[in-house]
Amino acid sequence: MIYSENHTYKSSKTRFFCRLTRCGLLIFFTGLWLPAFAISELKQFEDQNKQALYLKLTRELRCLVCQNQNLADSNAELAKDLRQRAYNMVDEGYQYDQIVKFMVDRYGDFVIYRPPLKPITLILWIAPFFLAICLILILVFRRRTAIPDLDDPASKENLQKAKSLIENSRTLP
Amino acid sequence: MNLRSQKALIPFALFILIAGFLAIGLTLKPGEVPSPFIGKPAPDFNLPQLTLADNAENNNSGNISLNIISNTDLDGQVWLLNVWASWCVACQEEHPLLNQLSADNIVAIIGLNYKDEQRDAWNWLNKFGNPYSKVAVDKQGETGIEYGVYGVPETFVIDKKGVIQLKHIGPLTSKDIEQKIIPLVQKLNGVTG
């Protein structure tokens, strides 16, 4: 309470720098995930399209040994082998769909981070929306109960009581 | 008052719900990825057999094809393909069970020596015993990719027509062998009971 009151007395300049610092911190912390992509890839293509396809594949295919890393992030032996395989296939002119199919045929849907919509994966796709709707419903419900209805005689009575308490406290020694 | 006591139950209900999900989660094995191989033909391989380096040199002058093993060599019989390596610690865990399975003459076991040094593999078999009728050498792990290998040891059960019937990831336990492998092999061999 006291803090927020002081806050309003700050000059607009101070407030500006305060906000700037906050923005900076926000960008810094949200940027912390960026080094995850930083494992240097020595493999280079002459062809820009092939390079882009290769990088897309290594980001979207899962390293099965480490499971929570993609091929680009992982230094596991298997990830290296699969990167090499992806590199060779891109080099030989295979397209995105063909390479993904090659991987899925061998390692299952689990190897791709974006699971296809199938009966077995339905819950994965629906659950986030379901939870979001639940959350919104809860928030709406909570707000309704939190705001007192001033037309209600009971709240008017309470308001009167509160006012008289404040008055009385001022007269105390 | 009544509403308030009902509300007090919400955290408890949430706790039960989350605990329930976690309890289910504990029994799942995230390492066991559903295999897309079941019911599909075993991928082809033509690989050199494991030999000591000295022997391999001697054989270079002779007939090299003698030292090649292919999955089609096994057509007409039920066999296991066991992926292993000398650097794989979990392989030592299941190895006595494979030795026993081999000694009981229940099924032919073919080893796939995955990304290993031949000499290390040879020494490893001398030390822990050799349950394999033949060992194929997959030095670069290329055949491993064809079989979707990602966690050594892995074991495939392949039927007489060369179709994969089971893929087991990780070390086999005696329970796996008694309750999964042996009954399946007997079924595929047409033996009942």
The CA distance from B36 to A155, in Å, is: 65
The CA distance from A110 to A120, in Å, is: 12
Residues on chain A touching B30 (C-beta within 8 angstroms): 67
Is the pLDDT higher at B97 or at B55? B97
What is the residue range of A71's domain? 45-111
**Residues A86 and A107 both lie in one domain:** yes
Q: Which residue of B has its CA nearest to A79?
A: B150
> Which residue in the block uniquely carries the two structure tokens 């709406």?
A140
The proportion of chain A whose per-residue pLDDT surpasses 70, expressed as a percent, equals 79
> Is the CB of residue B30 less than 8 Å away from at least one CB of chain A?
yes
Q: Is A99 exposed, middle or buried (0-12, 13-18, 19+ CB in 10 A)?
A: buried
Q: Which residue of A has its CA nearest to B139?
A: A81
> Is the CB of residue B115 less than 8 Å away from at least one CB of chain A?
yes
Return the amino acid letter for A72. A
| Extents of the domains making up chain B | 46-188
Question: So what CATH class is B46-188?
Answer: alpha beta
Is A56:A87 a contact under the CB 8 Å cutoff?
no
Is A54 part of a structural domain of the chain?
yes
Is the pLDDT higher at A54 or at A68? A54
Query: If pLDDT is split at 50, 70 and 90, which confidence band does B79 have?
Result: very high
Task: Tell me whether residues B33 and A107 touch, CB distance under 8 A.
Answer: yes
Is A137 part of a structural domain of the chain?
yes
Q: Which of B33, B27, B29 is nearest to B150 (CA)?
A: B33
Return the amino acid letter for B86. S
Q: Are strands B164-169 and B154-158 parallel, antiparallel or unpaired?
A: antiparallel
**Residues A85 and A107 both lie in one domain:** yes
pLDDT of B12-24, one tens digit each?
A: 999 999 999 999 8
Q: Which of A61, A67, A107, A113 to mutate to test the interface with B (most CBs of B within 10 A)?
A: A107
The CA distance from A114 to A130, in Å, is: 19
**Residues A81 and A125 both lie in one domain:** no
Bridge partners, B69 (sequence order)? B47
The pLDDT assigned to A77 comes to 83
pLDDT of A141-167, one tens digit each?
A: 876 655 666 677 777 888 888 888 888
**Residues A129 and A106 both lie in one domain:** no
**Residue B61 pLDDT exceeds 70:** no
Question: Can you give the CATH number for the domain in which A76 is found?
Answer: 1.10.8.640
Q: Which residue of A has its CA nearest to B152?
A: A65
Residues on chain A touching B37 (C-beta within 8 angstroms): 106
**Residues A103 and A124 both lie in one domain:** no
Task: Tell me whether residues A78 and B150 touch, CB distance under 8 A.
Answer: yes
Q: Which of A78, A101, A120 to mutate to test the interface with B (most CBs of B within 10 A)?
A: A78
**DSSP symbol at B163:** B
Mean pLDDT throughout A131-148? 79
Is A165 part of a structural domain of the chain?
no
**Residues A86 and A138 both lie in one domain:** no
Structure tokens at A25: 């911190």
> Is the CB of residue B41 less than 8 Å away from at least one CB of chain A?
no
> Is the CB of residue B145 less than 8 Å away from at least one CB of chain A?
yes
The CA distance from A5 to A10, in Å, is: 10
The pLDDT assigned to B14 comes to 93
The CA distance from B53 to A47, in Å, is: 42
Mean pLDDT throughout A116-143? 85
Query: If pLDDT is split at 50, 70 and 90, which confidence band does B31 have?
Result: low
Minimal Cα–Cα distance from A152 to chain B, Å? 19
Asked if this assembly's ipTM is beyond 0.85, the reply is no
The pLDDT assigned to A19 comes to 79
Mean pLDDT throughout A61-84? 82
The pLDDT assigned to B184 comes to 92
Number of folded domains in chain A?
A: 3
pLDDT of B102-117, one tens digit each?
A: 999 889 999 999 999 8
Q: How far is CA B116 from CA A54, B21, B137, in A?
A: 28, 41, 8
**Residues A83 and A136 both lie in one domain:** no
3-state DSSP assignment of residue B73: helix
Q: Is B8 exposed, middle or buried (0-12, 13-18, 19+ CB in 10 A)?
A: exposed
Task: Tell me whether residues A104 and B36 touch, CB distance under 8 A.
Answer: yes
Task: Tell me whether residues A77 and B141 touch, CB distance under 8 A.
Answer: yes
**Residues A49 and A97 both lie in one domain:** yes
